[in-house]
Every structure is written in C-alpha cells, then in structure tokens.
Amino acid sequence: MKTDTSAKIIAFIKDKGQASPKDLYDLLHLSSRGIFKQLNTLTEKNILSKTGRPPKVFYKINEKKPSSHSHLNNTALTNLINERFYYISPLGEELTGLEGFQAWCIKQNVPLEKTASEYTKTLEKYDHFKKNNLIDGTSKITATFKKIYLDKLFYLDFYAIERFGKTKLGQLLLSAKSSQNRKQITALIDTISAPVNKIIQQFDIDAVGFIPPTVKREIQLMNELKKHLHVKKHLLSIVKAKTNIIVAQKTLNKLDDRVLNAQKTLFVEDNQPFKNILLIDDAVGSGATINETAAQIRHKKICTGKIIGLAIVGSFKGFDVISEV
C-alpha cells in the first residue's frame, strides 16, 4: 500500500497535471528531505516522471508504456543492442541499450524482434568499413578535393546510418555538444580515449592538434577534449580568428565556401618542426576544415613526416554537411 504522503502526492499531481517540489512543500508541510525521499521513491517505481534540472524540476504521472515490446528472445541480439544502441527521447530522456531500442520501436510503431534483426544487418553493412575499429575516410576526401594534405583520415564511427539514424557515438557527440552536459562530455571522452592513444602509438605521433570550434558555447567540447584526453605529446596551437560576424562551418552548404572559410580563419601558430602530427576533429562532413588545417601545416613546413586526421564521427557519403554538430 502507498503511504498517506505518497498517495497525497499522486492525487495532487493527478489533479494539477504536474507539480514542483515547492508545490508539494506548500501542500504537505514536510521537510525538503521528506518530500524528495517520496519523490525519488515514486520516480524509481516509474509512478512519476521527472523533467528538468534544479532549480526548475517538475513531476508528472508517468504514462504507462505498451508492454508488447518488453523483451527479445535472442540473447545475441539483446547483447548487441545493449552495447550499441543509444537513444535520446524527444523529452530528453537518456535511454541506453534495449530500453532505448524498445522506446525507439514504440515511437516508430514497429515490431521489436523483426526490427532488432534488421538493425543487426544494418550494423553489419556499416561495420564492413571498419578495420581495427577505425573507418578509413581517406578515399572520401580524395574524391572530394583536388589537393589532399592529409596522409590518412580516420573516423571512430559514422555519424548516422540508414533508417536507424545516429549511431551511439554520433548521438553522444550531438547530445554532449548541444546540451552542454558534463556527464555526457565525460562519457564521450572515456569512449574515445583508448582509440586516440592507439593511433598516437600506431603512427608514432609527435604532436597533436585539436580543430578549434566555430560556434560559441559556454563549454567547448574540443577544449574539454584537449584538457581531459591527457595526450602526452606536444599540443599544437590552432586558433580560429575572430571576425565581425562569426560564420560556423556547419552553416555553409557549398564546398568552396567551406574551404574559403577554413583557409581565411584558421591559423596554426607553431613554428617548430615535428615528424608526425595528428589532427583531431569532432565531426567530418566535407573534410574541408581538417584538410585546410593540414595544408597550413604543410605550407609552414612544420611536419616532416605524416599528417593523420581523426574524427570522432564522419559522414558516409562524399561531400556532405553534418549541420547538427
């Protein structure tokens, strides 16, 4: 049986449609600790849903979800989805693995078992491009630009795949940047740390450069990567020059405009030579920014060996625009 306090909370929220903790203080005259204990218990039991972050938090009666998508009979499929699927609901809920896949299937009104099998086949199609957990995107920029200044370009994953949309890494990147959520930024850094260090070892990297952001944000993801990836190599100073009106790369739909923007606003300040250099970007759509940064390094003659490009995610097609990130 529900306690009198929890019953009063539920009845109040049913009547009003929503309630903040302050609403409940005024109603029940309990301590804040007592109110939050009841709210946490009701939320954990999925009786209430919580929206917002302090100091603006609201509670509603949790809508019951259809039970037809409750489980998968295939253990291998379940394990794969638990490892690879990541979903942010329209309400901003972070749903991972099977829970997220169930929610996605419900939203799309598709059967769980059949769709899970199709998801696996789609992943296999795109995983075919991976070798040692890296996607070689060199041919993409070779087909896009007349002059290539990178020796190699790799992605850790595609940004999105057909039908199912953003990959787990693509969704995590978008959410970390747009929500400015430090927890997600930390999760992203933890995810990419090992492969970044593996590339540094594989190509005997002497210096690492992080492509600077072009969109003003309170928390800049690339700056967070630079600080917390703990790269034990020289960090190149690459800067984005301020202009009267800042034009973000993702707003430019023409390849020539993207190249021109990168040529005229990105600058490499280092002058000392290095043998092999790694350039890290968050997402590669056209590849204009990372290729033009490599061009500056070549023109300044500060690389005597190879320039390797690495993007957290990249687009599948040739010239493409990942406008969301």
pLDDT value of position 70: 54
Residues 157, 279, single domain; the answer is yes
Q: Is the peptide bond before 55 cis (omega within 30 degrees of 0)?
A: yes
Q: Please state the pTM of the whole predicted model.
A: 0.81
Reported as type and span, the H/E element at residue 309 is: strand 307-314
Residues 98, 211, single domain; the answer is no
Whole-number Å distance between alpha carbons of 97 and 85: 5
Q: How far is CA 267 from CA 74, 261, 305, in A?
A: 52, 11, 20
Residues 151, 284, single domain; the answer is yes
**Is residue 284 assigned to a domain?**
yes
**Residue closest to 282 by CA, chosen among 213, 208, 217:** 213
pLDDT value of position 196: 97
Count how many domains the chain has. 3
pLDDT value of position 65: 52
Residues 155, 290, single domain; the answer is yes
Whole-number Å distance between alpha carbons of 314 and 320: 9
**Is residue 222 assigned to a domain?**
yes
Residues 104, 146, single domain; the answer is no
CATH code, domain with 37: 1.10.10.10
pLDDT value of position 127: 95
Domain that holds residue 21: 4-61
Phi, psi angle pair for 93, to nearest 5°: -80, 135
Residue environment code for 270-279, b if the CB has 16+ CB neighbours within 10 A, otherwise e? beeebebbbb
Instruction: Specify which residues 210 forms β-bridges with.
Output: 280
Residues 113, 84, single domain; the answer is yes
Reported as type and span, the H/E element at residue 12 is: helix 4-16
For strand 134-136 and strand 152-158, is the pairing parallel, antiparallel, or unpaired?
A: antiparallel
pLDDT value of position 231: 92
pLDDT value of position 249: 67
Residues 239, 154, single domain; the answer is yes
Residues 276, 140, single domain; the answer is yes
Residues 108, 214, single domain; the answer is no
pLDDT mean values, one per 10 residues, the chain (325 residues): 77 91 86 87 88 87 59 90 94 89 94 95 95 93 91 96 95 91 92 96 97 85 92 94 72 78 89 97 91 96 98 79 65
CATH code, domain with 214: 3.40.50
CA angle (47 as vertex; 43, 49 as ends), nearest 5 = 55
pLDDT value of position 1: 39
**Is residue 248 assigned to a domain?**
yes
pLDDT value of position 320: 61
**Is residue 263 assigned to a domain?**
yes
Residues 296, 155, single domain; the answer is yes
pLDDT value of position 135: 96
